[in-house]
Amino acid sequence: MKKRYLVFENGEVIEGEAFGADVARAGELVFNTGMTGYQESITDQSYNGEILMFTYPLIGNYGINFDDDESVAPTTAGVVAHEVARTASNWRNQMSLDTFLKQHDIPGIKGIDTRSLTKKIRMQGSTKAAIVDEIESAPELINSLALSATKLVELSSTHKAYPNPNTGKRIVVVDFGLKHSILRELAERNCNVTVLPADSTAQEVLNCQPDGVLLSNGPGDPKNVPAALEMIRTIEQLVPIFGICLGHQLFALANGCDTFKMKFGHRGFNHPVKEIITNRIDFTSQNHGYAVDAKSVAQTELFITHEEINDQTVEGLRHKQYPAFSVQFHPDAAPGPHDASHLFDDFLEMIDSQQRQKELEQHV
Q: Among all residues, which ones are annotated catalytic? A: 245, 330, 332
Q: Would you mind telling me the total number of residues written for the chain in this entry?
A: 364
Tell whether residue 256 is among the known ligand binding residues: no
Spell out where the chain has E strands.
Answer: 3-8, 13-20, 25-32, 50-54, 58-59, 78-80, 83-84, 107-110, 127-132, 162-164, 170-174, 192-196, 212-215, 241-244, 259-275, 280-292, 302-308, 314-319, 324-327
Tell whether residue 6 is among the known ligand binding residues: no
CA distance to 125, 161, 197, 213, per residue, from 269 (Å): 20, 31, 28, 26
For the chain, what is the radius of gyration of the CA atoms? 21
Tell whether residue 46 is among the known ligand binding residues: yes
Q: Is 33 exposed, middle or buried (0-12, 13-18, 19+ CB in 10 A)?
A: middle
Residue 285 in contact with residue 143, Cβ under 8 Å? no
Tell whether residue 216 is among the known ligand binding residues: no
Closest CA to 16 of 83, 75, 61: 83
Tell whether residue 220 is among the known ligand binding residues: yes
Helix (H, G, I), strand (E, B) or coil at 219: coil
Tell whether residue 249 is among the known ligand binding residues: yes
Report the alpha-carbon distance of residue 169 to residue 56 in Å, rounded.
Answer: 40
Enumerate residues 6+ apart whose C-beta is below 8 A from 347. 212, 214, 240, 242, 325
Q: Which residues are annotated as a binding site?
A: 46, 218, 220, 246, 249, 287, 289-290
Q: Which residues are annotated as a binding site for L-glutamine?
A: 46, 218, 220, 246, 249, 287, 289-290
